[in-house]
Structure 1
Amino acid sequence: MKRLLLAFGFILALAGCGRGGEGDEPVLHVGSQRGGTKAVMVASGVLEGAPYRVEWSEFPAAQHLLEAIGSGAVDVGLVGDAPFMFAYQSGGRVKAIGAQYVKERPTGALALLVPATSKIRTLADLKGKTVATGRGSVGHYLIIRALAAANLPADYVKISFLSPGDAKAAFASGAIDAWSSWAPYTSAAIREGARTIVDGHDFVRGYGFDVANVESAKTKHDLLADFLRREAKALEWKRAHNEEFAAVMAKETGLPIEIARDYGAKNGRQSVPIDAEIIADQQRVLDDFRNAGAIEGKRKLADGFDTSFNAEKVASR
């Protein structure tokens, strides 16, 4: 209960940040995960001349960002498809207004890792072992998909839901047997000797979503549309300027330049419109979560997407 009260207090405090004294200047509150949206938008310079001010809030993982969006503390933020599905079906006041896609998820961008000294070699060796990841994260989804593909039950492993920072510490100390995570966390762990026993390249599609608070999607529609247009340009810029992006990311996050460079190379997303193909793909994500007993929500899938922003997205895929 104490933890819940502290978390709620954090969200309320965040909601108050920048809300007062905005005057007549429009403000867009944008959330960014470590090394995510903020780094690419700042590095590319696409926000120069924007007819509004962007106020950034940093989050360690998608779950925390989605909670802030749902509460109204943040207007919009980029998250993976699995955490969006999890938050939406859990009743969050969130809606996907834009999509991003990477045709080929690079090796190591999402992975189930074990320590260098571990005797575990395959997924089957994890029976009864403890695997850490974030609840509803892409790491959580990787565990579910990998077990299903191997015809293993959802309770084959014990999942310990931890934040990336706590999971990293538990992984280093040997308090957990494996860690299912994503870049840049995987990049750093692999550089330090961690071994990959399951790679997300084989199991998880590369979709991500710009997710907005449902009220913000209405009251700040024009600001959000402009932001998505600039974000699409920033992603195009990054594909040709990874070194410049990595320098800004390293400065923003404190990560070594090598990790930032590797993360940029593994994160070649492009903006795409939300269409029937994407929604159908998300039905599979939802079904996988439900089959594993991780989600009980019955909200209509299509209602979680707002296609009125599609004109702002890059149409090629």
Structure 2
Amino acid sequence: MIIRYARTLLAVWLLLFGASHTAAFADSAKPADQIRIGLQKSSTLIAILRANGELEKALAPLGVKVSWHEFSSGLPLLESLGVGNLDFGADVADTVPIFAQAAGSKLVYVAEESASPAAQAILVAGNSPIASLADLKGKTVAVTKGAGSHYLLLAALGKASLTFKDITPAYLAPADGRAAFVTDKVAAWVAWDPFLTSAQQQSGARVLTDGSGGLASYKRYYLASETFTDRRDDVLNVVYAKLRDTGAWVKAHPKEAAKLLADLWGIDAATVETANGHRSYGVGAVTPDKLSEQQKIADAFFSEGLIPRKLDTAAVRIWTPKAP
């Protein structure tokens, strides 16, 4: 079932890419007067820039406008980026570009947030009899397909000498995963912040394990389409600088950032502040050595039949920011 689902997903992605290739190629000849940005609810830094209008102000001198497009998780976001419906994706977990690369999408790594291993975890109910990773054997576990939490689950199972065949994965978006978890339809849920901390605070959920101790670094990446990268290096430079500055602002002003995000997310400020404490928000340039864990993730996914072929994760394009 897992292999069939993965192959179906990749086949649909490739079909969409082929159907849109002609239109995307024709559009690539035109000057870009806008940047189409895809984001998730958990895309903290870009969500702040969307709310405060600072990115639009910074891009105005270049004559570039911003359009915003929200997605439930990273996989559909990168699918849209891969078929030319977006110019920039902000931000996705480290696992998501693996699926994009396996599907043949031509995407460019623009920036990364440094490791935040405590910002995702496997949760069980506070009164659950599950006390160890080995106890997940035979259980149904909710996880979002392709998310960073997907690899955390795989790595955690491996630590307990289990595989995906030893559990029943329920592939659910964050909102559906939480609903299944709080109604006891699943035995565990693999979540990331702010959903992780919110579930702990509101339902008394217990962390079975997070990514600490070398289990899963959990980086988040910002990517762009190749056509946009080739046309608007100047725009990417502005976006990169604003993301870096916003990340520094969040860490320097935790309460102010939490209040702003609480209004955006509909989560109380104290919970947001705790969740933000789990994230590094350290935005930096991507280099080949910083992508080292990507190969480990890709190899694990291939071994489990989640992607149909082995990947060389170093065979990707990386954008380099220019000094101001």
> What is the SS of the residue equivalent to 1:274?
coil
Q: Using a 3 Å threshold, how does the CA distance of structure 1 residues 286 and 204 change in structure 2: closer, same or farther?
A: same
Superposition deviation, residue 190 in structure 1: 0.7
Q: Secondary structure at the match of 1:140?
A: helix
TM norm structure 1:
0.84
Q: RMSD of the alignment, in Å?
A: 2.9
Of residues 178-187 and 297-306 in structure 1, the stretch that sits farther from structure 2 once superposed is 297-306
What SS does the aligned partner of 1:309 have? coil
Shift in CA distance, 40/266, structure 1 to aligned 2, threshold 3 Å: farther
1:48-99 CA-to-partner distances (Å, cap 9, x unmatched) read 3323222212222111211221122221121111112122223334332222
Check the 8 A contact 2:32/2:232 in 1, yes or no: no
State the alpha-carbon separation in 2 of the partners of residues 155 and 225 from structure 1. Answer: 44
Separation (CA, whole Å) in 2 of partners of 1:274 and 1:257: 31
Residue in 2 that maps onto 1:40: 48
Compared CA separation, residues 194 and 312, structure 1 to 2 (3 A): farther
Are 1:38 and 1:56, in contact at CA under 8 Å, matched by a contact in 2?
no
Give 1:46 shift.
Answer: 4.2
What corresponds to 2:263 in structure 1?
251
Q: 1:100 aligns with which of 107, 110, 113?
A: 113
Q: CA deviation at 1:38?
A: 2.8
Give 2:170's match in structure 1, choosing from 155, 160, 179. Answer: 160
**Alpha-carbon distance, 1:278 to partner:** 1.5
Map of 2:295 onto structure 1: 283
Q: 1:259 to 1:71 in 2, by over 3 A?
A: farther
TM-fit CA distance, 1:185: 0.8
Distance 1:59 1:254 in 2: 17
Return the offset for 1:292: 2.3
C-alpha distance in 2 between matches for 1:186 and 1:132: 13
The verdict on how the C-alpha distance between 1:300 and 1:215 changes in structure 2, with shifts beyond 3 A counting, is farther
How many residue pairs get aligned? The number is 296
CA distance in 2, matches of 1:312, 1:122: 48
Find the counterpart in structure 1 of residue 33 from structure 2.
26
- 2:109–2:222: 8 Å Cα contact kept in structure 1? yes
Q: Which residue number in structure 2 is paired with residue 227 of structure 1?
A: 239
Identity %: 28
Q: 1:161, CA displacement in angstroms?
A: 0.7
C-alpha change, 1:146 and 1:91, in structure 2 (3 Å) is same
Look up the match of 1:193.
Answer: 204
With normalisation by structure 2, the TM-score equals 0.82
Q: Residues 268, 163 of structure 1: CA spacing in aligned structure 2 closer, same or farther, 3 A cutoff?
A: same
For residues 216-248 of structure 1, the C-alpha deviation after alignment (integer angstroms, 9 at most, x for no partner) is: 222233212221122111111111012222122
Deviation at 1:160, TM superposition (A): 1.1
1:174-203 Cα offsets, whole Å, 9 max, x none, are 111110110111111111211111212231
Q: 1: distance between equivalents of 2:260 and 2:129? A: 38
Structure 1 residues 25 and 144, CA, compared in 2 at 3 Å: closer, same or farther? closer
Aligned residues of 2:113 and 2:280 also touching (Cα < 8 A): no
Match of 1:143 in 2: 153
Which 5+ residue runs of structure 1 have no aligned equivalent? 13-22
8 Å CA contact 1:44–1:245 kept in 2: the answer is no
Counterpart of 2:308 in 1: which secondary structure? coil
**Cα displacement (A) at 1:171:** 0.8
Structure 1 position 55 matched with structure 2 position 67: yes
Helix, strand or coil for the counterpart of 1:233?
A: helix
- State the distance in 2 between where 1:279 and 1:38 align: 22
Instruction: Identify if the C-alpha distance between structure 1 residues 39 and 153 changes in structure 2 by more than 3 Å, giving closer, same or farther.
Output: closer
